[in-house]
Structure 1
Amino acid sequence: MRFSHARYRNPAHDDREGPQGKPSARALRPLGRLGGLLLVLGALAGCAQPGAAPLRHAAPQPGGFSFALMGDMPYSPRELPAVDRLVAAVNADAEVGLVLHVGDIKGGAERCDEAVYRQRLQQLQRVAQPLVYTPGDNEWTDCHRPAAGSYVPTERLALVRRLFFPEPGRTLGAKPMAVVSQARVDAAHAAFVENVMFERGGVVFATLHVVGSRNDQVSWMGVDPKDGVSGTNAERGAEFEARQAANVAWLDRLFDEARRRDAAGVVVAMQANPRIEQLPGSLERSGFDAVLAKLRERAATFQRPVLLLHGDDHEFFIDQPWYRDSAPEPRLGNVTRVQGYGSPRIHWVKVRVLPGTPEVFHIEPQRVEGNP
């Protein structure tokens, strides 16, 4: 691998508080000279497997395409102009045909009022490309906090689904595109309008609703003082179990579809940093263990490049978390993850997808002029 002008690390952050109370395609011409950062992923051969229902999306595009990764912003009204500049920069990049937003459209210390959500939604709708959004913990899990309004988190989750997913199977953005929503194809998990899947340029993408605050394992003390770390709130426990089951099922469907299509690679996007570097069963990783186990299992048999995208800790980095001497599990070399920028770093990451090359995914951090 060759990295330049970027931070390459395998963080082992705790859940410390960050900014504002947040726990720390267009068809394109063939790629020419790459500036900034180049990430090379090995493309290994794999065998086909029976897959899920066909995806409703356009045929692969010759020459590849690029998409943008953003999330964890804005964290206060004063950051709105900076996000406007970021949106303008993404819109001005003629190579970008898709935007992935990995959640946290507000700060943890901001109120979880509907008016705030509508304001942030209006801002996101200015993205000229299709925008695929997956919720973050600040939008609902953390809304029990007094500073956020002492809302019941599941009630705020229902609001997020109503506002940001009014038509399951269509994205946000000025030019929405059709996607496959889990709610439409999986009767056992019909509530999960936010989990979507689509194919673009020979690569299969999926979002998973996996959030910070240990994936909703942090107690809802703001609305239930009896809720402890071990989990005593029945509603919180039921929410977690249902969402975990949906995410695991969606990962299976994703890799089945990738096998069926003989995809060059897979992209998985979610909000939380799942603490892969921590020991399985540890407190920091307990909310993520089932999803990580399924991701490892399916990536190992898929063998081709798997790109895991997330936000949560607000610092851009790239690593191969299961290909390190210090990894808590056996080595696995085809999974690479990228954590995007976040408040107060209002920037974005450009990912070039070139299925005809051995690398498949090429990552380039993008700094927005005028932003800190």
Structure 2
Amino acid sequence: MPATALPPIPHTALETAMPALSLLRRSLLAALAGGLLATSLPAAAAGEYIRPGVSFALLGDVPYGVAEEPKFDRVIADINASRNVRFVLHTGDVKQGSERCDDAVFIKRFNQYQKFDDAFIVTPGDNDWTDCHRTNNGSYLPTERLAKFREIFYPAIGRSTGKRPMALLSQAATPGQAAHAAYVENTLWQFAGATMATVHVVGSANNLAPWNQLAGGDRPAERQAEFDARLAASLAWIDEIFNRAVAANSAGVMLAMQANPGLEYAAGSPQRLGFDEVIARITARSIAFGKPVLLAHGDSHYFRVDKPLVNAGVSLENLTRVENFGSPNVHWVEVFVDARDPNVFSVVPRIVPGNVVTR
């Protein structure tokens, strides 16, 4: 599809202001060369490691329960103190798996996330709706909780939350995606020369795990119908993301989802139940794209950066996986984005001193 046929992807305020920033940068460099600003530039926050480019904060699977809320406030303060971060991306699970799925819990978490000084973007996790059938979660119907999660966490289609919200392209309002208008949570935007997006893919086998603690038992037909519709939306959205990245000549693509989809396992294995089609589509589109692709997810609460996808017997070199920290490790990951860097994405774990576990 020609680039002119695609509506523009929302840009962050940083990208919109790039011409002015470029002029400002040249002026600053000239002033520095003359020694005029040697003492007036702001210092980095204590312990902050500065890299070229700008960044976003990646986190997920936090906070879990009331006990972790003070720790998460320290994460918020740490991110707000960074001079690099432009937005915060949460990969889902805003509550722990044994915590109730009541409206009050969702609202409390939403309000805590609004303490971020920058834009806040979240994709749903399995704890946030698929697992709400559990007795200790309140024995909710998962699809009803998903509707409530959308109502609370996506108050305006095509716009993030946070103190400085930014424009996003939502699948719910994208031309050609009318069949998937329910998926307000699937979003896309451009940042620092890269195309960024969220895709609603969750743990608990992407909702193929039975809702076996519902009053009256599982509802397999309803559960399968939800899975089928969301899978179709996910595949269509992955294609949309890469089509737009190609049209925009993006330096790289970042995809964020909640589930750990079992990238290191073979297709058809039990660990990939519910994820094979998504992985196959990401693999095919990454190969065709040929530039760096960063796949960010949470779910297993284990920080790592690797290249787990194997294609034709070797690692898929241009796809990197980053998994964020998760409870009980209440920290965050900084991802720098620089279109001038051949790798585009650089990942730095950020340990919050006040949250380090006493040994």
Asked if these proteins are the same fold (TM beyond 0.5), I'd say yes
Q: Of 340, 345, 348, which residue of structure 2 is paired with 1:361? A: 345
Q: Work out the CA distance in 2 between the residues paired with 1:245 and 1:293.
A: 13
Deviation at 1:284, TM superposition (A): 1.6
Matched, 1:101 2:90: yes
Give the C-alpha shift of residue 181 in structure 1.
0.3
How many residue pairs get aligned? The number is 318
Work out whether residues 52 and 256 of structure 1, in 8 Å CA contact, stay in contact via their aligned partners in 2: no
Residues 251/211 of structure 1: CA separation in 2 closer, same or farther (3 Å cut): same
- Counterpart among 32, 46, 53 of residue 7 in structure 2: 53
Letter in 2 for 1:97: R
Kept in 2, the 8 Å contact 1:196–1:206? The answer is: yes
Report the equivalent of 1:238: 225
Q: Quote how far apart the aligned CAs of 1:283 are.
A: 2.0
Q: Which has the larger radius of gyration?
A: 2
Q: What is the aligned partner in structure 2 of residue 247 from structure 1?
A: 234
Q: Name the structure 1 match of 2:316.
A: 332
Shift of 1:57: 1.9
Q: Separation in 2 of the partners of 1:265 and 1:294? A: 17
1:307 to 256, 271, 294: 294
- Tell me, yes or no, if the aligned pair for 1:322 and 1:329 is still in contact at 8 Å: no
- Identify the residue that residue 131 of structure 1 maps to in structure 2: 120
Letter in 1 for 2:226: E
Match of 1:204 in 2: 195
Q: Is the 8 A contact 2:139 2:215 kept in 1?
A: no
SS of the counterpart of 1:191? coil
Equivalent residue runs for 1:133-172 within 5 Å:
133-172=122-161
Q: Partner of 2:46 in structure 1?
A: none
Cα deviations across residues 286-329 of structure 1 (Å, max 9, x unaligned)? Answer: 20111111000000010100000000011101110125xxx796
1:214 aligns with 2:205: yes
User: What is the SS of the residue equivalent to 1:209?
Assistant: coil
Q: Which runs of structure 2 are paired with 1:16-27 in the superposition (5 Å)?
A: none
* Alpha-carbon displacement from aligned partner over 1:167-193 (angstroms, at most 9, x marks no partner): 110001111100000001121100000
Residue 76 of structure 1 corresponds to: 65
* Equivalent-residue separation in structure 2 for 1:329 and 1:84 (angstroms): 44
Which structure 2 residues correspond to residues 27-66 of structure 1 after superposition, within 5 A? 52-58=6-12, 59=15, 61=18, 64-66=53-55
Bigger shift: residues 129-138 or 55-64: 55-64
Mapped to 2, the partners of 1:207 and 1:51 lie a distance apart of: 22
How far did residue 87 of structure 1 move? 0.5
CA separation of 1:101 and 1:117: change in aligned 2, threshold 3 A: same
Q: Distance in 2 between matches of 1:51 and 1:272?
A: 33
TM-score (structure 1 length as normaliser):
0.82
Structure 2: distance between partners of 1:158 and 1:265: 32
Paired letter, 1:299? S
1:280 aligned onto 2:267: yes
State how far apart, in whole Å, the 1-side matches of 2:6 and 2:198 are.
16
List per-residue Cα deviations over 1:8-59 (Å, max 9, x = no partner): xxxxxxxxxxxxxxxxxxxxxxxxxxxxxxxxxxxxxxxx988743212253
Question: How far apart, CA to CA, are the structure 1 residues paired with 2:234 and 2:214?
Answer: 26
User: Equivalents in 1 of 2:264, 2:187: separation in Å?
Assistant: 27
| Per-residue CA distance 1:255-303 (angstroms, 9 max, x = gap) | 0001001110000001011101112112220201111110000000101
Instruction: Find the aligned partners of 1:109 and 1:329 in 2 and give their Cα distance.
Output: 40
What is the Cα deviation at residue 336 of structure 1? 0.2
Give RMSD over aligned pairs.
Answer: 1.7
Q: Which has the higher contact order (CA 8 A, sep 6+)?
A: 1
Q: Which runs of 5+ in 1 are unaligned?
A: 1-47
Out of 61, 79, 89, the position equivalent to 2:78 is: 89
What is the CA-CA distance between 1:162 and the residue it aligns to? 0.4
Counterparts of 1:348 and 1:66, CA distance in 2: 12
Percent identity over paired residues? 48
Contact 1:99 1:130 in 2 (8 A): yes
Q: Counting helix residues as a fraction of each chain, which structure ranks higher? A: 2
SS of 2:161's equivalent in the other structure is coil
CA contact (8 A) 1:352 1:361 kept: yes
Query: What is aligned with 1:4?
Result: none
Q: 1:254 to 1:83 in 2, by over 3 A?
A: same
TM-score, with structure 2 as normaliser: 0.85
The answer to whether the 8 A contact 1:277-1:328 is kept is no
Asked if the contact 2:307/2:315 (under 8 Å) is kept, the reply is no
**Taking structure 1 as reference, are residues 51 and 322 closer, same or farther at Cα in structure 2, changes over 3 Å only?**
farther
Counterpart of 1:263?
A: 250
> Is it true that 1:113 corresponds to 2:67 in the alignment?
no
Give 1:143 deviation, angstroms. 0.2
